[in-house]
Structure formats: structure tokens, C-alpha cells
Structure 1
Amino acid sequence: MVVGAGQAGLSASFHLRRLGLDHVVLDADERPGGAWQHRWDSLTMADVHGVADLPDAPAPGGSAERANEVVPAWFARYEAEHALPVERPVRVDRVSSEGDLLVVHAGERRWTTRTLVNATGTWSRPFVPSYPGAGEFRGEQLHTHDYPGPEHLAGKRVLVVGGGASAVQFIGELAPRTDVLWVTRRPPVWRDHFDERLGRHAIELVQERVRAGLPPASVVSVTGLALRPQEQEAARLGAYDRRLPMFDRIEPDGVRWDHPAPGQPAFEPVDVILWATGFRPAVAHLAPLHLRSPRGGIALLQTGADVQTATVAERDPRVQLVGYGPSASTIGANRAGRAAALAVRRYVDSELRGAGDRALA
């Protein structure tokens, strides 16, 4: 059983089929495309930070076409060409354990399976931090998940909150059109270059957290940020000069600092707060399996040299997590999909051997 038909789920399904393992893929969306179909219209293929190839299928290249159309169409072709057994829309509510089997519940429906590959990503769990006064704000509060595009925000004073790649991109397309302020909880880390060695080190740092049973941090929190050519105009306008420090509370017409930086006002009026504050792993349906460590994360076992192939849940080897922690990228999802399929085969083979030994006994 695979839950989720984004990049990680499709990769896992491809490799399970190649290994001759019968399975079904349950996907919550009505159409192919994973989280890509929900991205904002102004995000083009030239804007995305890279889409890795699927097994036996090169990714679409950069272009001015909308990413929320190109990638879903690619996923749909991939499902059809490889006859992947995707069933949709099926929203999994919970996964429980009955003896040696896992039981997957979706409303009144249920499936039993020896193993589960969880590929539910993060898009369905946008994170918005709690701030005093947020409920009294009279303007709009939006999250990356709901970003409507620059046209909707033109002429409004927008406060962008968050220090990740999405915040940088939003500022890049908003600043030439409207008034933008930027605040982050931590100082953003800018980089001049990025190579494979730095990328591998960043992923290893994420894996250290997962191995320790901590919730995974985003890869960008250790890779740093860079401005692309399309963001240079916003930089020229000073949009990336963030306000210091983080505001203390939200008021009906803006945000307030108790101790503003020297020379800065204590209050900034804003029309829109855009929370570019990231996402959390969508794993609540796995709660009945008690996979979390006391430190809040799901520890994964690493069986090879590549940290992106750490997929086996330490507390239950029947469960694989792909697109989680060190494999939370398109290329990592591909590697994890293959690793998960191989781990499923090893587990099933060991169970069948054990059953045979018990029968002989």
C-alpha cells in the first residue's frame, strides 16, 4: 500500500511494480499532480527550484508555462504510461495495526496490507505561528498554501513573514508592484554559491535530526538562500532589508514591536500578512501506530550510505516514509521511493520465510 501520489509516491509505485509487488496507491486529490496542482498561478517552470526526473521519465524543463499545469500533466502521463494502480480521491483517515497486518481506514472503506509506504508530503499541513492579536486583524491573512498571486495584492501593503525560499520569491514578485515589508524570526542565511558537496552536507544535517527522533527541519534552513535574476529588481528597491526584530503582536490594522530597532517605528500598518512560514509533515493518520519518539519526530533507519534512502520507521519496520526529512525534495523523493520498495521486498520476503519456518515446525 502506498498513500500519496506525488513525486515520492509515484517513484515508490514504479519500483514496487518493477519488483513484482502487488499494491495500490491511495491519493486524496481528485486529479494527478500531487501538491503541484495547488501551487499559485504565477509560479512558472522557470521559477521552481528544480524538479527531478521520475524513474524512466525526464522532468519538464524550465519555461514560462505554469508549474501547476505542466507538472500535473507530466504526472498524469506517467501514471498512465506505467499503469500505476492509483485510486482517487481517497483521503486516508488513520492507519491502525491488527496483528501482523496494517489496516488503512478512509471513511467507511478499509484495506489491509503487510506494509505501508507513506508519501503524503506536507502541503496539506500549512504552519502558521500563534501571535497575540492575530484574531483581531482586520486585513487579510494568507499562507503560502493560499497565495493568490501578485495581482490580488497589488496596491496593498504586504507584510511577508518567514525566512525561506517562498518568502524570497514572494518578495521578488510583489516588491516591484506594491509596498512590501519583510520580517523573519531568525536572520536569513544568504549563500553565494551552492554545489553538490554543500547539498549533501545540508541533507546530512536534516537526517541527523530525524535519526535522533526530532521533527525534521527544512533543507533550506541549512542550505541558505540566493537571489535569482528575477528577484534583482526587488533587491534594488531594498525589499530584502528586513525589519528587526520580529514583531511582538498583531493589532487590527498592523503589527507592533515592544522594542523596535533604533530608528524604526514601533508600529507598521499593513493590509495583508503573508505567512511564508512553511509546512509540517502530514502524518497525523499514522498516530495510532505510535511511531513518534518522545522528541516529537519519527526516527528513520538508514540502511545504506545515502542518507536520502533512510525510509524505514524505527518503531515499526512495516512502515516506510518517503518525502520525509532527508528525502523531502524531488530528487530525494525518487531515491527514497526506490529504497522503500526494496525495503518492502525485504520485509515481505522475511515474513514469508518466517511463515514457512513456522509451518515446518
Structure 2
Amino acid sequence: MTQQVDVVVGGGQAGLAAGFHLRRAGVDFVVLDAQHRPGGAWRHMWDSLHLFSPAAYSSLPGRPMPVQPGRPYPEAAHVVDYLAEYEQRYGIPVQRPVRVRAVRREDGFLRVEGDTGTWRARAVISATGTWWRPFVPAVPGQDLFTGRQLHTVDYRTPKEFAGPGIHPAAAWGNVIVVGGGNSGAQIAADLAGVDGVELTWVTRRPPRYLPDDIDGRALFDAATARRRALEAGRPDTGGVASLGDIVAVPPVRAARDAGRLVHRAMFDRLTAHGVAWADGTTAAADAVIWCTGFRPALAHLAPLGLRGARGHIATDGTRAIAEPRLHLLGYGDWTGPASATLIGVGRPAREAVRQMSDLLR
């Protein structure tokens, strides 16, 4: 049976922000979430992860995040509880688990096909994020390496890497972390100094730390200033990238200041038992953790034929230029300044719903 109702695909922070504004606009809608429980990607983060910002600056529209006692920067589990409470508080109609397979054009509507049914929508907001599509670069020797290869999405705790190593010659767990962004720095800091773990941190360029007093609110302000400058035809301010790549959250700052975060240049290839550089130097490895980013999870939109360079869909704000009934929310700055963050997703969600309401009228 096909149901006629507007659809939000994804029940994480972006989907809930959209749901909040759709409720206020009086739109009949449903949120389809592939997860079994609330919390989105936050439910799958590593154990030690903390937000970049205090709770007061990490809130979705309408409901401030409560302070976590004893934690100036809340833990991921606190965010999960907040999102679950937010969903219930505003009565956001989330159906789960529903995996959306495809969105197609059909008789002037968008047909949303899921594994539990179909929906006929006048408009669709795609809010599936990037966590579900991890990116690992192609590096020579990956098929030869006999240790573990993981991505950020697979990492949980340093305890699982503590020695003895996987290979007979290893006296401890040799772990190589690849990536000079926030995930790479935080996971490297998590592993650094742990008994039984020998860490090698490799980056394509020297790590660029943001000033220690920078947090998520300042990053949001920088991203917003960049978007406004570009929209007004002024020179590009560079946004967050102009400040650096790594937010020096307390664990990263402590490991850096203690001299435990020492980076090496990116290796050239993997070997059976480690990695090798062009100058002939090598490092043993029982595990390689690829903290190398993500791509937007947009496979469900493939039937619309909208994707262009780098897998992005051309947008004006959140609205897909070639399909005005579709909005994309929470994928990064190309769908709104800091829209992949808790504090940043509210404004583009409000604008997306306003444009949807105008179109439907």
C-alpha cells in the first residue's frame, strides 16, 4: 500500500531538526530511519568521543541540550539520550527500522521506496548524513597486508589493540592511525600512551591545530561568515579550514602537550606486516585505522539522476537545483553552513521547510 505523506529520510540530528520545523509548519510528514533506535550515528561512535562544544552550544532548535554533570564537553552517549528525548518531546513521527532503497519521480510526486512500504511524497528531505559511507583511499599493498584494517566507524576502545601483537614478531599491538583531521587526532590521542600499544600517527601534511580556545560555536560562526561572504560576492574567508583542521579538545590537547602525538608523513605502501615509505624505512603494524573521512550517503537518490562532481548534488541552499521537491540537509557546508553539526543544522532545516511550504502552497 502506498501512503501519501511528505518524507524525511534519516532520523538522526538533521532529520529531527527538519521534523521540528515541519511540525511547526503543520505539514503532514513521516521520518523514515534505518536505525533500530534513536540517536543516529552518535550511537555508533567510539567510547571516548566528546563534543567539541559545551551542551549550551550543541542544541537542536527548540530544546537546549541539558548539561552533563561533570562533563564540560558531553559524551556521545549523552547526545544519544538527548536526541531520543527530543524526538519524544516534539512527537516527531519516526518509523524505524525502515531502509529507504530508492526515491523516484512518479506522476508529479516523489515515490519513496522502503523495505517496509512505499510513500508518495509531494516533497522529500534527505538527511542520511555521511557516517554510513566511510571512505578509504586506495593505497598499494592493501591486499597484501595481513593485519586488521579498520575505519573510524569500526573503532571503539584502545583496549582491543593492546599487545601482544597479532604477528608472532610483535611484542605489543602496533597500531597505525591514518588521518590528520579530528577523528585521526582523537583516536591517536586515545591510543597514545596506552600500555601494550605502539602508536604511529601518519598524516598527509603536518597537523594543523585550531587555537585551544576554539570550540564548536566558533566553528559555526566561521562557517556562517564564509557562506554569507560568498552569497554577497565578497572574498572567500576560508571558513573553518582557514583556522586549522583539528579542534584541540582536552584529550587531544593533553596528548599533544605531553609529546605523545608525533606525526609521520604518509607512507607509500602497505606490506604483509606493516607499512613502508619511499626512503626504505618501515613500521610494523598489527592494525591500520583509516580516519580518512566519509562521502555523502546518497545511493537512495540515484534514480533521480542528480549527482555530479565528487558525488554531490547541485543545490541552492538545501534545495536540489534540478529537483525542487528535494532538499538535502546535514551533509556539510554545501547544504548549509555547519549543517553537519548539532548547532548548525537548525537554520538550514528551517529554511528547507520554509521553501517546501512555499512550493506546496
TM-score band (shorter)?
A: 0.7 to 0.9
Alignment partner, residue 342 of structure 1: 354
- Cross-structure match for 2:321: 314
Aligned to 1:81: 89
Contact 1:164–1:220 at 8 Å: present in 2 too? no
DSSP-derived class of the 1:347 partner: helix
Amino acid at match of 1:250: L
The change in CA–CA distance for 1:88 and 1:299 in structure 2 (over 3 A counts) is same
Q: Which residue of 1 aligns with 2:118?
A: 110
2:208 equivalent among 174, 185, 189: 189
Scaled by the length of structure 1, what TM-score is found?
0.82
Question: In 2 relative to 1, CA 72–60 (structure 1 residues): closer, same or farther, beyond 3 Å?
Answer: same
C-alpha deviations, 1:317-340, integer Å up to 9, x for none? Answer: 100111022112212212121111
The 8 Å contact of residues 157 and 272 in structure 1, kept in 2 or not, is answered as yes
Residue 229 of structure 1, aligned match among 237, 250, 257: 250
State which of 296, 299, 315 in structure 2 corresponds to 1:281.
296
Q: Evaluate the alpha carbon distance shift between residue 198 and residue 127 of structure 1 in structure 2; reply closer, same or farther with a 3 A threshold.
A: closer
Q: Deviations over 1:101-154 (max 9, x none)?
A: 001111362111010011101111111111111122111111110102111122
**1:205 positional shift:** 5.6
- How far residue 299 of structure 1 moved from its aligned partner, in angstroms, is 1.8
Deviations 1:40-76 (CA, angstroms, capped at 9, x unpaired) = 2232xxx221362122211133556883432222222
Shift of 1:33: 0.6
Q: Following TM superposition, by how much is the alpha carbon of 1:285 offset from its aligned partner in structure 2, in angstroms? A: 0.9
- Separation in 2, partners of 1:119, 1:334: 13
The answer (yes or no) to whether the contact 2:98–2:114 under 8 Å persists in 1 is yes
Q: Taking structure 1 as reference, are residues 254 and 87 closer, same or farther at Cα in structure 2, changes over 3 Å only?
A: same
Is 1:100 aligned to 2:108, yes or no? yes
Q: Does 1:18 align with 2:36?
A: no
Cα distance in structure 2, aligned partners of 1:221 and 1:180: 27
- 1:5, 1:26 within 8 Å by CA — same for their partners in 2? yes
Shift of 1:37: 0.8
Amino acid of the structure 1 residue aligned with 2:10: G
- Which residue does 1:41 correspond to in 2? 47
- Counterpart of 1:228 in structure 2: which amino acid? V
- Judging by fraction of residues, say which structure has more strand: 2
Equivalent in the alignment of 2:341: 329
Q: Is the 8 A contact 1:104 1:111 kept in 2?
A: yes
CA distance in 1, matches of 2:86, 2:247: 32
For structure 1, list consecutive stretches of 5 or more residues without a partner in the other structure: 210-218, 260-264, 302-309, 350-361
Q: 1:186-217: CA deviations, max 9, x gaps?
A: 333223253867654445668999xxxxxxxx
Q: Distance in 2 between matches of 1:291 and 1:222?
A: 30
SS in 1 for 2:302: helix
The one-letter amino acid of 2:107's match is: G
TM-score by length of 2: 0.82
Q: Relative to 1, partners in 2 of residues 1:56 and 1:205: Cα closer, same or farther, differing over 3 Å?
A: closer
Matched, 1:164 2:172: no
Match of 1:2 among 4, 8, 14: 8
- Cα deviation for residue 316 of structure 1 reads 0.9
- Counterpart Cα distance in 2 of 1:198 and 1:170: 21
| Aligned residue-pair number | 325
User: Partners of 1:278 and 1:220 in 2: how far apart?
Assistant: 16
SS at match of 1:134: coil
SS at match of 1:105: strand
Match of 1:175 in 2: 192
Structure 1 CA distance for aligned equivalents of residues 20 and 219 of structure 2:
30
Cα distance change, pair 315–228 in 1 and its aligned pair in 2 (3 A): same
Opposite residue 320 of structure 1, the aligned amino acid is: H
Return the alpha-carbon distance in structure 1 between the equivalents of residues 27 and 314 of structure 2.
26
The one-letter code of the counterpart of 1:285 is H
Unaligned runs of 5+ in 2: 1-6, 164-172, 231-238, 334-338
Change in CA separation of 1:275 and 1:42 when aligned onto 2, cut-off 3 Å: same
Match of 1:247 in 2: 267
RMSD of aligned alpha carbons: 2.6
Q: Secondary structure in 2 aligned to 1:124?
A: coil
SS in 1 for 2:15: helix
In structure 2, what is the equivalent of residue 270 of structure 1?
A: 285
* Alpha-carbon contact 2:219-2:240 (below 8 Å) kept: no
Structure ranking higher in helix proportion: 1
Q: Find the aligned partners of 2:260 and 2:209 in 1 and give their Cα distance.
A: 15
The 3-state SS of whatever aligns with 2:346 is helix
Aligned partner of 2:61 among 38, 41, 55: 55
How many percent identity over aligned positions?
Answer: 45
